[in-house]
Amino acid sequence: MLSAGEFRNGVTLEIDNAVYQVVEFQHVKPGKGAAFVRTKLKDIKNGGVVERTFRPTEKFPQAHIERLDMQYLYADGDMYNFMNTETFDQIAMSADQVGDALKFVKENDMVKMLSHQGQVFAIEPPMFVELQITSTEPGFKGDTATGATKPAIVETGATVLVPLFVNEGEVIQIDTRTGEYMKRV
């Protein structure tokens, strides 16, 4: 059991039969009245964010989130197939369940499956991926002083904004959390 006074960012809790992750918290001690904890909680099943306040002494059970390394095998229509590399068990997930988590993930790349009580609720791609640019417009000489960018399509089909000096066929590093170009490889 975790009291509201011990909340930290990233902690997962079970509140009212739902699992929430603490996104933001603030201990407030007004001049008059009792102290309280103001929080922003993200529902890990549907992704909704709610704001709630708690007394610092309220206690909640901590939710156990399992993170399992899985290999993304292939997409078959609107089904995505994954394999546990230790037990070789395979899992198929629908496009609705996956969402855009695999936007920057190639076949045979490793991802993390997040589950609570055996139910997978999210897929976490690696933080940084290296992908080849399949198509982009050529940059114009003399346009680089402004830090301008141009759209480029990478091998997974996703579009990324890259600097003008990056050309078709080059391999770039992308931050999967923000979808931003990091550097050429």
Q: How far apart are alpha carbons 5 and 97 in whole angstroms?
A: 34
Same domain, 145 and 112: no
Which of 77, 98, 124 represents a domain boundary (last residue)? 124
Same structural domain for residues 99 and 149? no
Q: For the whole model, what pTM was predicted?
A: 0.67
Which residues span the domain enclosing 169?
128-184
Q: Do both 104 and 134 map to the same domain?
A: no
One domain, residues 165 and 118 = no
Residue 144: the pLDDT is: 57
- Average pLDDT along the chain: 85
Write out the chain's pLDDT in tens, 185 residues.
888 888 888 788 888 888 888 888 898 888 888 889 899 988 887 778 889 998 888 898 988 888 888 999 988 888 888 998 888 888 888 887 787 888 888 888 899 888 888 778 778 888 898 899 998 888 666 655 667 788 899 988 889 998 888 888 889 999 888 888 888 88
Same domain, 53 and 88: no
For residue 48, the domain's CATH number is 2.30.30.30
Domain endpoint, select from 74, 101, 124? 124
What is the domain count for the chain? 3
- Of 20, 42, 60, which residue sits at a domain end? 60
Strands 79-83 and 66-76: antiparallel
CATH assignment at residue 155: 2.40.50.140
What does the pLDDT look like over 104-156, one tens digit per residue? 888 888 998 888 887 787 788 888 988 999 988 886 666 556 677 888 999 88
* Buried b / exposed e along 20-59 (16+ C-beta atoms within 10 A): bbbeebeeeeeeeeeebbebbbbebeeeeeeeeebebeee
CA distance 185 to 176: 16
Task: Say if residue 50 is in the same domain as residue 76.
Answer: no
